[in-house]
Amino acid sequence: MAIRKASSAKKKTLTLPPFLQKGDAIGIATPASPYKPELFQAGIEMLREWGFKVTLSRKVLRKGYLAGSDQERADELMGFFENPAIKAILCARGGYGAMRILDLLDFKKIQKEPKLFMGFSDITVLSLALWKKAGLMSFHGPMITTLPSLNRASISRFRSVLSGGYGLELPLDKKKASPGRSTEGILWGGNLTLLVHLLGTPYEPDWDGAILFLEDCGEAPYRLDRLFTHLKLRGVFEKISAVLLGEFTDPKNALINPRFFKHWLGGLDVPVWTGLPIGHGRRNISLPVGAPAYLDAEKGLLSVAL
């Protein structure tokens, strides 16, 4: 079977973060919006039940729609990266605000102190910046406030990642691919809205050869149309190797009809798959950001060997 390779893909040195053992400390960052205490506490209790220590660097300060000032949120995140006692950093929630602190982070220091970092939604910009500026592989995956609502498979994958299970063999529905063609490339992505807002900034990722995964929530179809059109006009779909689409919901939290994706992305010269188990719902399988991956169309399998 023909395999599409991106001959122009840029080589990047990838740093894999150390994994956790029972008794290790996890720093809980709030780089975006404030969280609901009851959901936060339920997620914290799950981590403790699994044998991890939990560290909070500050009380969450609500400043409007943000969890503290830009400097407070940036200092909190940097403090966790620089603290040798902290072995991983998880985010309390997304919302809005992570993009505001990108220029306040010291990526050279982060590069010297790599930590396991995970989040999704608004946290997309931090994961992509860590990869772009520090060469650090992070994870698109659950946050503290979303942990209690996840299905069993997502929780199992989350725990596996914390313990070093960075590799992945994720079955995909072969009926949800067009065209059905195998490919390989660097796996990365996240929230569509946040990713588009990185275009033209120093944090815009390298598109060449990417296996791009996307999700979004609360967006009307016409807004998603605009976002995909923006990527087309940027020439993104001429550079990447494949598109994997997770869950997309409209402002009423209803799933977006698959026919819209055929309208927006039909005719692309790259494989487009729907049904990836990521998003703001109960399914949110942790995916490595920046790892080399292989998409097997014949088996319907996304593989990452690390």
Any idea where the domains of the chain sit in the sequence? 3-12+167-304, 25-162
pLDDT at 180: 81
**243: Cβ contacts below 8 Å, ≥ 6 apart:** 212, 213, 214, 237, 265, 268, 270, 271, 272, 273
Q: Kindly report the three-state secondary structure assignment for every residue of 112-135.
A: HCCCEEEECHHHHHHHHHHHHHHC
Distance CA 136, CA 14 (A): 6
Distances (CA, A) of 43 to 90, 96, 130, 144: 11, 20, 24, 5
pLDDT at 298: 94
pLDDT at 4: 43
Indicate the SS3 state at residue 239: coil
Q: Assign domain 25-162 to its CATH superfamily.
A: Murein tetrapeptidase LD-carboxypeptidase, N-terminal domain (3.40.50.10740)
- Region 3-12+167-304: CATH code: 3.50.30.60
pTM for the whole thing? 0.95
Q: Would you say 295 and 183 are in contact if contact means Cβ atoms under 8 Å apart? A: yes
pLDDT at 161: 98
**107: Cβ contacts below 8 Å, ≥ 6 apart:** 129, 130, 133, 134
pLDDT at 57: 82
Count of CB atoms within 10 A of residue 31's CB? Answer: 31
Which residues are catalytically annotated? Answer: 121, 215, 280
Successive 10-residue mean pLDDT values, the chain, 306 residues:
43 89 97 94 98 88 91 97 98 97 98 97 98 98 98 98 97 91 97 98 96 98 97 97 97 94 92 96 98 96 96
pLDDT at 73: 96
